Chain A
């Protein structure tokens, strides 16, 4: 590759964090699957002096369930999600997303932390994780802190992660028994395509009413975000088709899409309405 940089390949998390802490800010970047970062370096969008590869840090990869929560190590790959019975049980929207994520080689390399950290509003694991109320653990030289994913992004491709921190874990409370969690990616084709509109929905039901509604939208705002107004319409209700349609309309009002090569802003708002309505209807029908 034309670009030149130094490369460190630490085997332990503490070494990686120390290397980033002594890394002169953006001149040193963490490297996980490389499916975004190497492409960005080649396209001259970033020019790091040094990369810290996380490839050999085994402790960052894996999925475990304990104390009512499921936790994913930051270096867990998209393919790891598809192989996990725990993810299938406790994060089905992630399976919907991982299945149509990039192509096979990208899924085998790309990581959960990398998909979040790249900051793209079209990052396909983010709406599912938002719909699951996921937390992100950031680990730096002075220890770890936990940030709700909903508070992680501060603007287009900006976030709360400091240059000397790594996303080491993503976790969420195990969903209630009577709940449904789905994601749909609208794109030109199922595989190897950038998302036009992504919608994740999570519904929990108790005694005939929806006790918790989550609606998260990707690729239709500067950041992936939840649609709290639409969620509030559904919560506490036994939603009728008319109310579900109203929630879809509200979700479309809560996003701020742009026109780009993949679709117009108007089309994106229309598809947020339609997809939110469709996912809510299917989710509610399967719970009733």
Chain B
């Protein structure tokens, strides 16, 4: 039986203290803490439904052990924006029809944000490669790419955040 340890997870700007065993993944820990916007999909790094930002970079939380990210800044899709005050990506995804069943959406938003933080003016190839670790069975991706491009354009002209 692996030992438990109380760790501090800093999620969406707030610190959470909780005991987790060594084998607990970040995905499991976040859902135990109530962050249900982080979804469990393939659990092997193919689907991206569990993606979160760790210090600003998107990672699959199903492949990350909770203990290894103690003290790092973890951001889930809900940490980027809310229904009342959406993040520009969340806004664009909703307005442009890039959301259907919604299961993949939090992970796609995280991967999109990670791309835009690293690349201010991504071309089509950049966007496709940045989102190649996110599976969506509804949209066919075209509207997802349009939403990312719309936000990238907005940022480029200094319009929105």
- Which listed residue, A4, A104, A190, A192, touches B2 by the CB 8 Å rule? A4
How far apart are B26's CB and chain A's nearest CB, in angstroms? 10
B17 within 8 A of A: no
B58 touches A34 (CB 8 A): no
Cβ contacts under 8 Å, A102 to chain B:
45, 133
In chain A, residues 1-29, which have Cβ atoms closer than 8 Å to a Cβ of chain B? 1, 3-7, 9
Contact string, A64-107, partner B, CB cutoff 8 A, digits 1/0? Answer: 00000000000000010001000000000000000110111110
Q: Which residue of A lies closest to B3 (CB)?
A: A6
How far apart are A16's CB and chain B's nearest CB, in angstroms? 13
A35 within 8 A of B: yes
Q: Which residue of A lies closest to B126 (CB)?
A: A99
- Assembled-state Cα–Cα distance A7/B48 (Å): 25
B45 touches A79 (CB 8 A): no
- Assembled-state Cα–Cα distance A1/B25 (Å): 7
Cβ contacts under 8 Å, A106 to chain B:
45, 60, 133
Cβ contacts under 8 Å, A109 to chain B:
59-60, 63-64
A108 touches B114 (CB 8 A): yes
With A102-B45, A109-B59 in contact, do A7 and B132 touch (Cβ < 8 Å)?
A: no
Cβ contacts under 8 Å, A103 to chain B:
45-46, 48, 111, 131-134
Cβ contacts under 8 Å, B79 to chain A:
none
A31 within 8 A of B: yes
B133 touches A38 (CB 8 A): no
- Assembled-state Cα–Cα distance A51/B28 (Å): 18
Cβ contacts under 8 Å, A4 to chain B:
1-2, 21-23
With A104-B130, A105-B133 in contact, do A39 and B67 touch (Cβ < 8 Å)?
A: no
In chain B, residues 1-34, which have Cβ atoms closer than 8 Å to a Cβ of chain A? 1-3, 21-25, 28
A281 within 8 A of B: no
- Assembled-state Cα–Cα distance A102/B45 (Å): 9
B65 touches A105 (CB 8 A): no
A38 touches B67 (CB 8 A): no
A39 touches B57 (CB 8 A): no
- Assembled-state Cα–Cα distance A5/B1 (Å): 7
How far apart are B65's CB and chain A's nearest CB, in angstroms? 6
A211 within 8 A of B: no
Cβ contacts under 8 Å, B51 to chain A:
105
Q: Chain B residues in contact with chain A, CB under 8 A?
A: 1-3, 21-25, 28, 43-46, 48, 51, 57-60, 62-65, 67-70, 111, 114-115, 118, 128-134
